[in-house]
Amino acid sequence: MAKQGATYKATEADRLFVERSVTAGSRINDIADCLKITDDTLRKHFRYEITTSRERLKGEAVRVLSDSLTDNSLDAAKFVLSRVAGWTEKQDHNHRSSDGTMTPRITNIMTPQEAAEAYAATLHDNEG
């Protein structure tokens, strides 16, 4: 942190750093510490960057998206329709069996005796 009363002159590199730090969600006191100035000095010299950085970033993102739409980007169109127009992709899964219920069809039921015999037969087949 700089000495109290020291004169600070903001540079373009500092302005860019503050802008990027604010859009990244950094806290004011952390940004000030990086520049070795007080929080008040940061707020005094970088008020514009602090108050407008996120909105300007969103505006740039909208411009890029708009340019992508102009270039006939299918992905951009899907994004806009899903976020702005509320469209969603829907997949219809039919989980009903052929008789209209959700009960699976039972095809082959063994009695416990048949299951034991089948198991014994596999053991016998594996020995030889």
Contacts of 64 (CB under 8 A, 6+ apart): none
* Res 5 pLDDT > 70: no
User: Which of the pair, 46 or 107, is modelled with greater confidence?
Assistant: 46
Q: What are 7-45's pLDDT values in tens digits? A: 899 999 999 999 999 999 999 999 999 999 999 999 999
pLDDT at 47: 97
Question: What's the pTM?
Answer: 0.55
Q: What are 68-111's pLDDT values in tens digits? A: 998 999 999 998 888 888 888 777 777 776 777 777 666 677 78
Helix (H, G, I), strand (E, B) or coil at 10: coil
pLDDT at 44: 96
Beta carbons of 118 and 110 less than 8 angstroms apart = yes
Q: Provide the residue ranges of all domains of the chain, joining segments of one domain with +.
A: 12-83
pLDDT at 106: 67
Query: Cα torsion for 97, 101, 103, 105, to the nearest 10°?
Result: -40
pLDDT at 92: 73
